[in-house]
Amino acid sequence: MHTTHPLDANDPLAAKRAAFSLPDDVIYLDGNSLGVLPAHVPARMQEVVANEWGQSLIRGWNEHNWIDLPQRVGNRIARLVGAAPGTVVACDSTTINVFKVVSAALNLRPDRKVILSDSGNFPTDLYVAGGLAELLDQGHELRVVAPEDVEAAVTDELAVLMLTQVDYKTGRRHDMKALTEKAHAAGALVMWDLAHSAGAFPVDLAGANADFAVGCGYKYLNGGPGAPAFLYVAPEHKNHVRPPMTGWMGHEAPFAFDLDYKPASGVDRMRVGTPPVLSLSALDAALDVFDDVDMGDIRKKSVSLCELFIKEVEARCPDLKLVSPRNEAVRGSQVSFRFKEGYALMQALIANGVIGDFRAPDTVRFGFTPLYISHADVMGAVEKLETILADRLWDRDEFKKRQKVT
């Protein structure tokens, strides 16, 4: 196993690894699916559970300002995705936020009926948009084209262009600014799913003029399994959108217990019910690791890690075929390869301490999270990969048996 690599010598993020609790015997290349536990989070959670909840009880809503956690955490995420304060709220799951945002966007384009997306989108986004079109029963259509055909498919029929910036399987990255501009020129609104972008590289929602965005709290933001997600509404829409879920936490005065619904001003109207204080507190604490980090440094190191991985795998594991873009400019922070027995290969890798994941039918996927992964880890992972392939260690029944969650 490599313990040092020359490219790690001047890494401005090297010290960050100590801020995470990583098992010693694991090279973790799956932070794009579930981020790593920041080392200070357990103590913070102990404090929240034992003192905030345990001692303050119901008084905690005021004493610890639990009620504003969605905005406070939202504002911290806003900084990472190039959004102004007061435009992001941390709430619900990404799936639910897709529903809320697409519905609100359709409502702003009542004369148009087409939602355009691509076949590289994460299925939940497509399921939700298709389901919403059915539910509305007003003739809406979800149109799905190949990722490379999106630009040409933008027409003046579009109400909403709904895209995930980084393809979860291949790591291919859409040009957010160019596609947003194109959609706006056609009179459409745009929603970006930043699940594989937020915390992975600099995102500039305001600079791209995006209308809406959603994203996950448990991937590169390290908020823990099932962490709350976030949503963004551009300043020009945030006081006009009509939320589809008119819950009391999106009301202008929830504690007036008024019988009539009046939306809160700003992005708060997209909140629905009581915030999950424990999970939001974990996400809030986890975001501390970004406080003194330059997202430009994260991107620089991410590119370097991905380039090294691609170069070494292609040189040493010729049976693997690269599916990610070779050009870093159109790639996120993950690298995928195709291998016929990809599932068994990934299980063998995991059994040997290298954790990535598998996406059907034949893709092995490796996420590179610069806050806690080094170039030495990349070399260590490639070495295991090379041995497992050379010795056909994947070719065992135990590695071929599918698990419930892959």
Ligand X SMILES: Cc1ncc(COP(=O)(O)O)c(C=O)c1O
Ligand Y SMILES: Nc1c(O)cccc1C(=O)C[C@H](N)C(=O)O
Active site residues: 122, 193, 218-219, 365
Contacts with ligand X in 200-239 (CB under 6 A)? 216, 229
What does the alpha-carbon distance between residue 355 and residue 216 come to, in Å, rounded to a whole number?
20
38 - beta bridge partners?
20
Kindly report the backbone phi and psi dihedral angles of residue 309, in degrees, each rounded to the nearest multiple of 5, phi listed first: -60, -45
Q: Is 145 helix (H, G, I), strand (E, B) or coil?
A: strand
Q: Which of 115, 195, 313, 354 binds ligand X (CB under 6 A)?
A: 195
| 127 labelled binding-site residue | no
Measured CA to CA, the distance from residue 32 to residue 368 in angstroms comes to: 8
Count the neighbouring beta carbons within 10 Å of the beta carbon of residue 86. 17
Residue 95, annotated as binding a ligand: yes
Nearer to ligand X, 8 or 167 (CB): 167
Which one of 94, 180, 336, 374 is in contact with ligand X (CB under 6 A)? 94
Q: How far apart are the C-alpha atoms of 356 and 146, rounded to whole Å?
A: 26
Site for ligand Y in 175-204 (CB under 6 A): 195
Residue nearest ligand Y, Cβ-based: 168
Closest by CA position to 139, among listed 165, 112, 116, 117 = 112
124 near ligand X (CB under 6 A): yes
Residue 1: how many CB atoms within 10 A of its CB?
A: 12
- Bond into 276 cis (ω within 30): no
95 binds, among ligand Y, ligand X, none (CB under 5 to 8 A by kind): ligand X
Residue spans of alpha helices (H) in 220-264: none
Among 168, 343, 366, 399, binds ligand Y (CB under 6 A): 168
> Could you give the CA distance from residue 352 to residue 371 in angstroms, rounded to a whole number?
23
CB of residue 316 vs ligand Y: minimum separation in angstroms?
Answer: 26
The size of the interface with ligand Y (CB under 6 A), counted in residues, is 5
| CB contact at 8 A, 367 and 377 | no
Residue 329, binding choice from ligand Y, ligand X, none, Cβ under 5 to 8 Å by partner class: none
Out of 56, 93, 107, 209, the only residue in the binding site for ligand X (CB under 6 A) is: 93
95 binds ligand X (CB under 6 A): yes
Contact 89, 78 (CB under 8 A): no
Q: Which of 122, 339, 372, 394 binds ligand X (CB under 6 A)?
A: 122
Would the annotation count 122 as a binding residue?
yes
Looking at residues 14 to 43 of the shown chain, list those that interact with ligand Y (rule: CB under 6 A). 33
Main-chain phi, psi angles of 20, to 5 degrees = -120, 150
Contacts of 112 (CB under 8 A, 6+ apart): 157, 158, 159, 187, 188
* Cα Rg of the chain, angstroms: 22
Which DSSP state fits 38? B
Strand partners for 115: 142, 160
Q: Tell me the C-alpha distance between 158 and 189, whole Å.
A: 8
CB 386 within 8 A of CB 317: yes
Binding track over 145-174 against ligand X, x by CB under 6 A? -------------------x---x------
Is residue 405 a contact residue for ligand Y (CB under 6 A)?
yes
> Rounded to the nearest whole angstrom, what is the least distance from the CB of residue 231 to ligand Y in the complex?
16
By beta-carbon proximity to ligand Y, the closer residue of 195 and 389 is 195
By beta-carbon proximity to ligand Y, the closer residue of 33 and 374 is 33
274 annotated as a binding-site residue: yes
28 is in an annotated binding site: no
CB of 51 to ligand X, least distance (A): 29
CB closer to ligand X, 101 vs 373: 101
Which residues of this chain interact with ligand Y, rule CB under 6 A? 33, 122, 168, 195, 405
Where do contacts with ligand X occur on this chain (CB under 6 A)?
Answer: 93-95, 122, 124-125, 164, 168, 193, 195-196, 216, 229
Instruction: Could you list the residues known to form a binding site for pyridoxal 5'-phosphate, using ranges.
Output: 94-95, 122-125, 164, 193, 196, 218, 248, 274
Binding residues: 94-95, 122-125, 164, 193, 196, 218, 248, 274
